[in-house]
Structure 1
Amino acid sequence: MPRSLPPALAGPFWIVCSSLLFAAGWTFIKLAGADIHPFAVVFWRCLIGALLLSPFVLSGHVKMPLGRMGGHIGRATSGIIAMFCTFYALANAPIATVQAITFAAPVFATVGAVLFLGEKVRMRRVAALGIGFAGVMVVLQPWSQPLTIGVSVAVIAALAMAVTTIAIKKLVGFDRPMTVVAWSFVLPILPSLFAASFVWTWPQPRTWLYLLGIGIFTLAGQSAMVRAFSLAEASAIMPYDFVRFGFILAIGVTLFGEALSPAVLIGGGIILASAIYLAYREAQLARTTGPASAKPLI
């Protein structure tokens, strides 16, 4: 990042970088999933990412304390479910459709915060949640077409991402963001290897390049996202995350020959708009009442 970049642009800069990196990572995931089972792709993603992180851990630049292992294990559990489902969905559904559905994760996370963290809501937030779910329905269109296994699993992935979001919110209050990232790569290695062992095949030579790309781009994408959220409020940078949707749409059309679906475009926009509004209301509440307040969000 240029040193002269104003602070107000630093957060958007890093979230756009993250969007581009994740779009590249998803491309390699879809390519690798055409050769080996998605569960094996998850294992290689975690192992390669952990190996890439190891020099920073060994040098002390990334800390991995053991004091909050319970929280990290919980976050890793929901994270590996999200990875299994996302990687499977990418191998069995259009990449743009999967991206649009997973945009609903912040909406589901808000519901989870109400159900499991005791947060209270009023009508504006309820309306935003309703709009978000409407966007999901526009993408899925259950009234006109049967749900495929790939699309159904993408919905489960969004739910698991929501649980992961709640877990991360709790963890980053105690641990450094890169600590959370590091454990998210290390802890799923053995469980993902166990799951992959039932469907194991060795990658073809070209697939090794895809797997390396997955490790590099998902690690870099997470690091850029962490940097973005450390520099700006979520409400300020979430609108720029729609750039990722544009990248994914272009990749789906140009690389995989997928049709550009109006329902995915419209539904994805509705879902993201709902998520942006929810982030805005959360930031507004934090500024006026403080993060520990139990005051309802309106």
Structure 2
Amino acid sequence: MSGTLLSFCLMAVGARELSGEIHTSQVMLFRSALGLLVISFILLVTKNYSGFSSKRLGLHGLRNTFHFAGQYGWLLGITVLPLAEVFALEFTVPLWTAIIAWLFLGEAITMRKLAAIGLGLVGVLVCW
């Protein structure tokens, strides 16, 4: 968790510093290319390809489209908003995940979850 948090913070600061010189699309290109290289290297070393078969290739493509759009929005937000606001908005992701799971996956939303969502949104508004 610490390594993940450190990498997200470094990426946010790096993207913010480069925003005057490199367009968000270029940052996305470099980030995606580096990720592809790392994953390809891991696959070549381990020779374990079993996790790459799918019968729902279209859904994976749709998921990746939304993920790419989310990353683009996050990087764009870093360039135009204060970092504190970007991270305050980023902390709402679990709240939106619960709401979207309820809407699209039919997950039960209990009073406890509803209270957590409400308190989370109030917390973000206080920090904002």
TM-score when normalising by structure 2 = 0.86
Q: 1:74 aligns with which of 22, 44, 62?
A: 62
1:165 is aligned to none
How far is the alpha carbon of 1:94 from its aligned partner?
Answer: 1.2
For 2:47 and 2:116, locate their aligned partners in 1 and report how far apart those are by CA, in whole Å: 40
Pairing 1:47–2:33 present: yes
Pairing 1:107–2:99 present: no
SS at match of 1:35: coil
CA deviations over 1:250-280 (Å, ceiling 9, x no partner): xxxxxxxxxxxxx34xxxxxxxxxxxxxxxx
How far is the alpha carbon of 1:61 from its aligned partner?
Answer: 4.7
**What residue identity is the alignment partner of 1:71?**
L
Residues 41 and 62 of structure 1: CA distance in aligned 2, closer, same or farther (over 3 Å): farther
C-alpha RMSD over aligned residues: 1.8
For 2:13 and 2:48, locate their aligned partners in 1 and report how far apart those are by CA, in whole Å: 28
How far is the alpha carbon of 1:100 from its aligned partner?
Answer: 1.3
How far is the alpha carbon of 1:69 from its aligned partner?
Answer: 2.2
Pairing 1:65–2:55 present: no
1:31 is aligned to 17
Pairing 1:119–2:104 present: no
**What residue identity is the alignment partner of 1:112?**
I
CA deviations over 1:113-169 (Å, ceiling 9, x no partner): 11011111222211111112223333xxxxxxxxxxxxxxxxxxxxxxxxxxxxxxx
Greater C-alpha radius of gyration: 1
For 1:17 and 1:36, locate their aligned partners in 2 and report how far apart those are by CA, in whole Å: 26
Counting only pairs closer than 5 Å after superposition, residues 76-91 of structure 1 correspond to structure 2 as: 76-91=64-79
CA deviations over 1:33-56 (Å, ceiling 9, x no partner): 221211221111101221233221
For 1:93 and 1:137, locate their aligned partners in 2 and report how far apart those are by CA, in whole Å: 16
**What residue identity is the alignment partner of 2:2?**
V
1:56 is aligned to 42
**What residue identity is the alignment partner of 1:21?**
S
How far is the alpha carbon of 1:62 from its aligned partner?
Answer: 5.5
Q: Which has the higher contact order (CA 8 A, sep 6+)?
A: 1
1:175 is aligned to none
Runs of 4+ in 1 over 4 A off after TM superposition: none
Work out the percentage of aligned pairs sharing the same amino acid: 29
Unmatched 5+ stretches in structure 2: none
Unmatched 5+ stretches in structure 1: 1-14, 139-262, 265-298
